[in-house]
Chains A and B, each alone.
Chain A
Amino acid sequence: MKEPIISVRNLTKRFGNFTAVNAISFDVEKGEIFGFLGANGAGKTTAMRMLCGLSFPTSGSGKVAGFDVMREGEKIKRHIGYMSQRFSLYNDLTVWENMQFYAGIYGMSARDSAARSTELLQRLDFLNERDTLVGSLPLGWKQKLSFVIATIHRPSIVFLDEPTGGVDPITRRQFWELIYEAAATGTTIFVTTHYMDEAEYCSRVSIMVDGEVRALDTPAQLKKQFAAESMDEVFRTLARGAKRGE
C-alpha cells in the first residue's frame, strides 16, 4: 500500500456542547482525487479546517503531509495548497504579480518563483497573458489560475473548496482536466463539491452526515453498496437520513 498523505483517527471538534465533527477516521493516499461530500451543516467545513491546520481538533490524532494535526498546524499550512470557494487572487495585480506574491508568501526564492511561474503558465498555454490584470480575465481563466497558484509551492496535497461553483459546464470540465493532470503527476487532490457528477470523477468519495463519515469508497463501490444508479442517488439516500437540521 502506498503511503497515506492524510491519515486521521477519531478526529473530533466540539464547540461548547455541540459536536461538529464526531470521531472521523480515514486515509487519503498519494495521487488520489479524494471527494469530500456532505449535506450543508454535516461538518465538512469544520473537518476541512482541521485538516488544513486552521483549527485544532478537540481530540483524536493524525497527520497531514507528514505533520501532526494536533500540534503542527503552522507547518501543515505551509506544506499544503488551498483554493477557497471565494475567488482570492488580487484583481488589480497582473497574472505574473499574483504568482510572485503567492510564491513569496510561501517563502520561495525569486529565481525559483520565476521559473515555477513560467512552467505553470506554459502548461496552461497562458504565457501571453502574464502581464494582464487578473480582474479583466474571464471567470474560467481566473478559476484555472487560482488552481495553479494553489500549487505554486509544489505542495504534495491541494485542498479545493467547491472550486467549480457557478462555472459554466465547459469550463467546469476543463477545470477537472487540470485536476486529473495534477493527480497524474502525483499531486493529491482533496475536493468538495455540490455537483454530484463531479463526485463520479473522484478516485474515492467520503460522505459526511451529522458530523460523521457515513460512507467512504470508490464511486463504483458506493453505487453498488447503496444499490444506486448514480452518486446523486447515493448522496440523497444518506443525506435524507440526516438528523441534524442544517
Chain B
Amino acid sequence: MAAIEVHNLCKRYGKVTALDHVSFVVEKGELFGLIGPDGAGKTTLFRLLATLLNPDEGSATVEGCDIVKEYRSIREIVGYMPGRFSLYQDLSVEENLNFFAALFGTKVEDAYELIEPIYKQIEPFKSRRAGKLSGGMKQKLALSCALIHRPKVLFLDEPTTGVDAVSRSEFWDMLSDLKQRGISILVSTPYMDEASRCDRVALCNEGKILTIDTPDAIVRSFDRPLYAVSCSNMFGLLCKARADRGVVDCYPFGSTHHVVANDEFAAGQFVDNMKAQGLSDVVVEPAQPTIEDVFINLMKR
C-alpha cells in the first residue's frame, strides 16, 4: 500500500476547473514535491487529500483510507500545514502547541522527541503570542503543531513561499530529517530550484500534471540542445536571438539568456548573425538544462 494514491481526481469551482484529472502515487517514506505556480491546483489537491473538500470526479486514498468515505481516519493520521498561517495569533507559542496536542488527545511530551529539532529553535520565545512571531518562526511553530500527533503523512502547502533563500534551505534540511524518521511527505512549492530536494516531483500547471519523475530524470528528459548566451546588451540580444533561424526559444536565465536550439544552430554562425546586427561581443556556451528549462519547454508545448 502506498502512502497516497490519486486517481483521476477532479475539482471544479463553478466554471473553473481547479484540478483536471490528476493521478499520481506517493510511496511510503517518500518526499514528493508538487512544483508549480499559483493556479496549478496545488492547494485544492491538499484540501481534497486533507478531507476538507470532496472531489467532483475520481478518487484518492491516504494510507489506504478513502478521502470521502474514511475521512475520519485520515484526519487522525495526517499533519496538514496550510499555505496561510492558521494557528491562533492571540495564543502563545506554547498555548498553540498544547491546544493542538489536546485536539488530538495527546500531550506535547509524547511527541517532543519528534518536534525537538524544530521546536527548540523557537522554544526561547514560547510565551510570545503567535501573531508576534516573525515569518520564519511562525513556519516552525506551524510545522511543530502539524507533527504533534505523530502523523504518518505530512501535507505541506507552500511552506517556503516568501521565505529567503537561506531559511528555505534550512527548512528543506528539516524535511529530510522527518523523512528519515519514516514520515511520508507531500510538499508544494513555486520555487523550481527546490525540486532537487525531493525524491520525486510532479510539475503542475493550471490543474494538470505536466510530468512526474525524479528530478534527475526530468532534467535528462530535456531533449534539445541548450546554450547560454550573453553580451553587453542583454535586452537587445534577447530580441535579436529570438528572430534567429537556429533558435527555437530564448529567455532570460540569471546572468545569461538560455537559447533552445534546433538542428540548424551553430555557435559560430549565431555569433556572426548577432554581429551583423550590431552585437559584437556575444558569447555562446553549452548549458546544462534545469527543472525550470523543462517546465518552460513543457508549458509551451
Contacts and interface: CB of A to CB of B under 8 A. Distances in A.
Given A40-B135, A197-B254, A230-B254, A168 B238 contact: no
A245 B146 CA distance: 23
A165 B165 CA distance: 13
Given A139-B39, A194-B162, A165 B190 contact: yes
B163 A167 contact: no
B163 A166 contact: no
Interface stretch (A113-121, A126-134, A148-156, A232-240): A232-240
A246 B296 CA distance: 34
Contacts of A245: 134, 136-137
Interface string A176-218: 1100100010000000001111001100000000000000000
Main secondary structure of the interface of B (DSSP, over half): mixed
Contacts of A8: none
B205 interface: yes
A219 B253 CA distance: 14
A165 B252 contact: no
B83 to A, nearest CB: 10
Nearest to B295: A169
Contacts of B255: 200, 219-220, 230-231
A185 B191 CA distance: 31
Given A40-B135, A194-B164, A197-B253, A169 B235 contact: no
Contact of A170 (B134, B163, B296): B296
Given A39-B164, A40-B163, A170 B300 contact: yes
A41 interface: yes
A139 B137 contact: no
A162 interface: yes
Interface residues of B, number: 33
A194 B163 contact: yes
A163 interface: no
B164 A139 contact: no
B1 interface: no
Interface string B156-171: 0010011111110100
25 contacts: A38-B164, A39-B166, A39-B167, A166-B158, A167-B38, A168-B295, A170-B299, A177-B235, A180-B235, A194-B162, A194-B163, A200-B254, A200-B255, A219-B255, A230-B254, A230-B255, A231-B255, A235-B166, A236-B165, A236-B166, A239-B165, A239-B166, A240-B166, A245-B136, A246-B135
Interface of B: 36-39, 134-137, 158, 161-167, 169, 190-192, 205, 235, 238, 251-255, 292, 295-296, 299-300
